[in-house]
Structures are given as C-alpha cells and as structure tokens.
Structure 1
Amino acid sequence: MSHARWSILLACLAGLFAAVPNTADARVDEPTELVNQQHCMFCHTSDAPFLAPSFRQIADRYRDVPDAKAMLEIKLRKGGRAHWGDTPMPLPSERGGPLSAEDAHTLVEWVMSQ
C-alpha cells in the first residue's frame, strides 16, 4: 500500500475514533423502579452520606478497583458486612425481595456512573 493510501486510511480511522463518544464517563439514567423496589434511598442518597455512603462515594471508592462491579453486584444480591461504618447491606428479603443478576448489574452500572 502506498504512503498516500496509508495516510488516507489513518486519517479516516482517526476521524472515526474521534466521533465515538467516551462512554466510560457517561452518566446512566436512574433505574427508578429498581431503586424504589429495593428501597435504596432508605439508607443512601446521591451525594451525601446518610445511614450508608452516598452513591457518589461508592462510585469514587470503587471506580478504579478491579472486579469492584462484580463484588457490588454480589453484595446487592446477597447483602453483606459493613464496608463503611457499622451498617451492613441488608439482605434482599429486608429490602424488597430477591434481585436478579441483571437487575443488580443495572443498579451497579447506575451507581458507578455517579
């Protein structure tokens, strides 16, 4: 391939990648039905600690932690010991019932986008 063709190809690829939005920092819309079903706001708020850390604090703490999303999804599905203060994550039966893996993923994606 000639130098001119390589230059054109590289310019096209650069333009293509420049047009792709960076979704890593994209804010995810609140899954309000799930948040209400699981009673998330009984303990959490968006930006200030309450009975538990805020969603923003959770996102800031775990954003760069490998496998954090998977750990948080499991914690949502099973409950768990306190990682912040003395308040553990309640069992699903105490929050609104069982949570599917897909719904846990949806909630974690939303929290991590804060």
Structure 2
Amino acid sequence: MILVAVATPAIAQTEPTELINRQHCMFCHTVDAPFLAPSFHQIAERYRKEPHAADVLARKLRLGGRAHWGDTPMPPPSERGGPLSARDAHTLVDWVLSQ
C-alpha cells in the first residue's frame, strides 16, 4: 500500500464579527488591502505556515506590540476595546490565518 500526503488548503472560518467589532480591528486592517496596517490576507500569507505563529499573534493581540509592518504598532487592548481573553485572541488569529 502506498500512502500519499496531500496538502489541504486552510478552510475559511466564519468571521468572528462581534470580536472584530469589539476590538476595532477594522480601524487599521481590512480583509484584502493594506490600510494603516496589513490586510488580513497579508497576515495570513506571511504567518500561515509558521509553526508558532498562532501563539505569537494571539499574544500580540492580547498585549499589543511593536510594528512589524511599517510604522504602526499593534495598540494594547485598552486602546482598542478592552481586555481580550486568550480564547478570543485565538479565535481572531485562527480566523485571520484562514484567510
């Protein structure tokens, strides 16, 4: 018997609209075009295949952080819409990486 590994594309997940709105993600990001920050498609393209990207990006959502795309840093949650749980951060990151 011969087994063949087949790469499966990421399955787009349902948009977590309430979280996106609560965290004001669209103030800086769009789905498919750079604005004040990279698009969600650009983020997915850059990080989708990185093994620890989901954890790194979730941490950045929860704490804020320095700029990796131009000059605009990720603001802390206190400037975006309030605290973000680890679960909610991973929900957002998983959705972005599925783009």
Same fold (TM over 0.5): yes
Quote the offset at 1:90 in angstroms: 0.3
Quote the offset at 1:66 in angstroms: 1.9
1:56 is aligned, of 41, 44, 56, to 41
Unaligned runs of 5+ in 2: none
The two structures, once aligned, show a CA RMSD in angstroms of 1.3
Aligned residue number for residue 94 of structure 1: 79
More helix by share: 1
Which protein has the larger Cα radius of gyration, Structure 1 or Structure 2?
Answer: 1
Deviations 1:5-62 (A, max 9, x none): xxxxx7xxx9xxxxxxx5x511001000000000000000000000000000000000
Identical pairs, percent: 71
Compare relative contact order (CA 8 Å, sep 6+) and give the higher one, 1 or 2.
2
Unaligned runs of 5+ in 1: 1-9, 15-21
Structure 1: 4+ residue segments shifted above 6 A: none
For residues 35 and 95 of structure 2, what CA distance do their matches in structure 1 show? 19
- The alignment status of 1:30 with 2:15, answered yes or no, reads yes
SS at the partner of 2:37? coil
- The alignment status of 1:71 with 2:56, answered yes or no, reads yes
